[in-house]
Amino acid sequence: MRRLTGALLAAALLAAIPATADAATRDQLTLGIYPAGYAAVDTPDPAKDDYPKIISSLNTLQGQHRQFGVRAYADFNPDPRHNAVAPFVPFLGHGRKLDLVLVHDPSATPQQWLDFVRAQVRYAGPFTNSLSLGVDANIPGLPWSMSRDDLVNGLAVAKQEARHTGLKIGFDVAAGPQDTDFWTSLKSANLRPDFIGVEVYPDVWFPAPGDHGQQAVGLLTDVRDTKMPLAGFGSSVPIMISENGYTSDTAGHTQADQAAALKSEFIAITGAARRLNITAYDLYMLRDHPTVHEYNLDHLGLLNADYSPKPAWRTMVDLYRAYP
């Protein structure tokens, strides 16, 4: 991974200063996308990623919107000098800011995790709109799972560090699991997250034919009306769609199917946004994994691995550009 020079960082910092209008007064949702082509947590690298094509794609998707989210994932790193924001800086500016996710590692001690969170909040600064603690925070037993205490203490540290920055702090959950214990365990912590990020994948992990838009809204309604109240989170706590995607890896999930599913889900989610207090929507992801894999998340891209467009590319460009 190349290190960015101080001059480049400074220039990008100036370009990344947000527009003066707040998203809530401009759009109902702030739109965005994960710009890499790796379903496993990874960071962009100019040695393997075509930066001009990625930036051009971001410009096309963003269209007229004054703000746009660039989703980014940062693996835990015990080195306090590690800057997880730096690899994504070339994609920022022109109203684009990060939706940054800090990914836990069970090998981290509680103190190492908190030190990592503090450091990344500082680095995030003006480059970042939102910072989430954890991927699939409500699912135990994954390589990136974290304990309740790591989540609770991490949120407290992040909010304390970000108190004068305007950076929104929350955590990401997967929609759908039977996770009542997770939500009820948070009630006693009296948490005050700025948002809950929700990962929405109808008909991806498990076969679910039918109206994918209706399924997406059903999953989000369950989070809003059933799950979040268990933790004491009322309707004033916004939901961000941290990941929404549909794979095109099998005969049952063709590229045409992907385009139709994403269109259905986007229209349904944006239509329910006001009722469910959804404030942001990030697609997952820009392009397919550059190496052939059997893993279905490697085929969630709007573009093929060689950056050629799938049908879903034009579908989502049209929908993004038509969105107010």
Reported as a pLDDT band with limits 50, 70 and 90, residue 297 is: confident
Region of 265 (left: φ > 0; alpha: ψ -120 to 50; beta: rest) is alpha
Range of weakest confidence among 57-71, 163-177, 238-252: 238-252
* Domains in the chain: ranges and CATH: 6-322 (3.20.20.80)
In whole numbers, what is the pLDDT of the chain averaged over residues?
Answer: 89
Per residue in 306-320, pLDDT (tens digit) is 999 999 999 999 999
pLDDT of residue 16: 39
pLDDT of residue 12: 39
Task: Give 195's contacts (C-beta < 8 A, 6+ positions apart).
Answer: 130, 168, 170, 237, 238, 239, 240, 279, 280
Q: Which residue, chain included where needed, has tokens 């989703």?
A: 71
Flag whether pLDDT at 158 surpasses 90. yes
pLDDT of residue 6: 34
Q: Which of 79, 88, 78 is nearest to 125 (CA)?
A: 88
Q: Which residue, chain included where needed, has tokens 């004491």?
A: 232
Calpha distance 98→231 (Å, rounded): 27
b vs e for 37-70, b when ≥16 Cβ sit within 10 Å of the residue's Cβ? bbbebebbeeeebeeeebbebbeebbeebebbbb
Query: pTM here?
Result: 0.90
Which residue would you say has higher pLDDT here, 97 or 20? Answer: 97
Flag whether pLDDT at 10 surpasses 60. no
**DSSP for 46-62, written as a single string:** TTTS-HHHHHHHHHHHH
Per residue in 15-55, pLDDT (tens digit) is 433 343 344 433 479 999 999 876 555 678 887 889 999 99
Which residue would you say has higher pLDDT here, 129 or 10? Answer: 129
Sign, Cα dihedral of 139, 144, 147, 149? negative
Residue 72 CB coordination number (10 Å): 26
Calpha distance 9→87 (Å, rounded): 10
pLDDT average, residue stretch 271-278? 98
Reported as a pLDDT band with limits 50, 70 and 90, residue 125 is: confident
pLDDT of residue 24: 40
Task: Give 181's contacts (C-beta < 8 A, 6+ positions apart).
Answer: none
pLDDT average, residue stretch 167-172? 98
pLDDT of residue 68: 98
Q: Tell me phi and psi for residue 129, to 5 degrees.
A: -90, -45
Per-residue tokens: 158: 């992040």
